[in-house]
A and B are shown apart, each in its own frame.
Chain A
Amino acid sequence: MQEMTHINSIESGQVTESPYIVSRPFYSEVEFNASAQTQIFICQGRDANALKGDVQGLYDSCSTAERHLILAMTSTQAQEQLAPLLDDVSLSSAVYLAGDETFIWSLNKYLRESGMLAEQIQAFKSSSNARQVFCCHCHSITPDVHTNPAKCGHCERLLTVTDHFSKRNVAFFGYQVNAEDPNDIPQAQELS
């Protein structure tokens, strides 16, 4: 697989001369947004130990007056903590997301709906290869998928897990791998 061009915003998704699936999230290096007056870190984890490596480094470099830290295990829990903050946070804010893909993109969706622009949101590389998969047959979402193909948790069809990611559904698109012959069961590969 070829390297994608460098992009700063997780939503720009621009790609040049690459066969790469444009809709697959790509995580470029997170850059500190020095022009923002408020720096909001949203990290998946129970406590401050969740801050590691680059995330820790960036967080430590912000002054205590300008930075906010939200720690939560799920995006729903993070949203509950974020809601009062977003009500009166400055237009000049930057958000840094760290967690697995579902955590990152659920929060990205929530932040966009709260009025934040794509250029204000950056994400560290997903902490896990697990995917949520949207079944194009029964329209349900199966979380925590590690292999391709994988069984739909609702209709139980065996699905090809594609690289096409839906920001609206926060899931990768999946379709039946063996529609013509249900006995044809390809060997499962670990998702990367």
Chain B
Amino acid sequence: MTSQNAEHQTLVRVSQIKMLTPTIKEFTLVSDESGLSAFSPGAHVVVHMPGATRTIKNAYSLLSDPQDTSAYKIAVRLQDDSRGGSKFMHESLNEGDTLAISPPANLFAPYWLAKRHVLIAGGVGITPFMSYLPELERRGANFELHYCFRGSLTGAYKARLKAELDSSYFEYDSDAGGSLDVSSLFSGRTLGTHFYICGPASLITAVQAAAKEHGVPDKAIHFEEFAAPEPGAPFEVEAQKSGKLVQVGAEQSLLEALEAANIEVPNLCRGGVCGQCVCEVSAGEPDHRDNFLSTAEKQSAKTIMPCVSRAKSARLVMPI
């Protein structure tokens, strides 16, 4: 058994830190007590990082072979507007340090009934596909990988993937003038083809738009974009059932502020993807920043994803 506290955290030791590019570091995590649990391709862990005033929790995709339980690997890109999470991982964490993680969860598993898998990665968005590839190979699945990056900054795994995947590998280095024509991804595709996108919102939107133009069914497009909570103007929350007035700081997420006030909200990815933490809003105007709620739900302003979303109004009233 690995050590777990009440919040189901597992303590791991950082056994190796590798600088892959000037902005991406890879971390190898091991458990000193016993093996780690196996996971499924596309799974992520939430890393708990001690911040100056609060614990920062960010989700990172596991990029090792899902059957390898000797270690987990994650890769972290240093974000320019980091609230402290990627900055901590890059600047404060050393080999030998201990880190708390929550066990793997998966919101981006391959659709195994697909006849062909088309993987589209942008920059550090390559990470979930690193755990797809060994399993796709083992199953003899039909797949191809399209990898977009900036050669000088974000092409973390290009050499290795090129060598391993050969003719199913396509790369687009924007520093070398390369760019992916998303429309071409859809021409001549036959039944059973599924597309998976992980990368910046702009890439996801572009691929979705091209898919729509080609009449590709929505359910054939799978994507994951962890919107790390971004800072914003401070606001306050009237938590009705708890009878508390909670202040949300500029650098703090709404979910973190509620947790700090001992208001429990069930949550999983903390990145606007899974929908676990959805909360009701009875007054005030939410500033939706998630990938979970539908456009109609966002417009109705009746619900909010507190992990990434904030408020446009100075105050939100929530019946929690």
Contacts and interface: CB of A to CB of B under 8 A. Distances in A.
Interface residues of B, number: 18
A4 interface: no
A119 B190 contact: no
A91 B219 contact: no
Contacts of A116: 191-192
Nearest to A38: B215
Contacts of A37: 214-215
B191 A115 contact: yes
B114 interface: yes
A36 B219 contact: no
A119 B191 contact: no
B217 A90 contact: no
B279 interface: no
Contacts of B212: 35
Contact of A119 (B113, B115, B219): B219
A88 B188 CA distance: 9
Contacts of A115: 113-115, 190-193
A89 interface: yes
Contacts of B113: 112-113, 115
Interface in A92-144: 92-93, 112-120
A91 B212 CA distance: 12
Most buried by B among A88, A91, A112, A114: A91
B190 A88 contact: yes
A127 to B, nearest CB: 26
Nearest to B192: A115
B190 A91 contact: yes
B263 interface: no
A58 interface: no
A86 interface: yes
B133 to A, nearest CB: 22
A93 B219 contact: no
Contacts of A114: 191-192
B218 A91 contact: no
B186 to A, nearest CB: 8
B220 interface: yes
**Pairs A-B, 8 closest by C-beta atoms:** A115-B192, A92-B215, A35-B215, A91-B189, A115-B191, A117-B219, A117-B217, A115-B115
Given A92-B214, A114-B192, A115-B193, 5 more contacts: A89-B190, A91-B192, A118-B219, A119-B217, A119-B219
Interface of A: 35-37, 86-93, 112-120
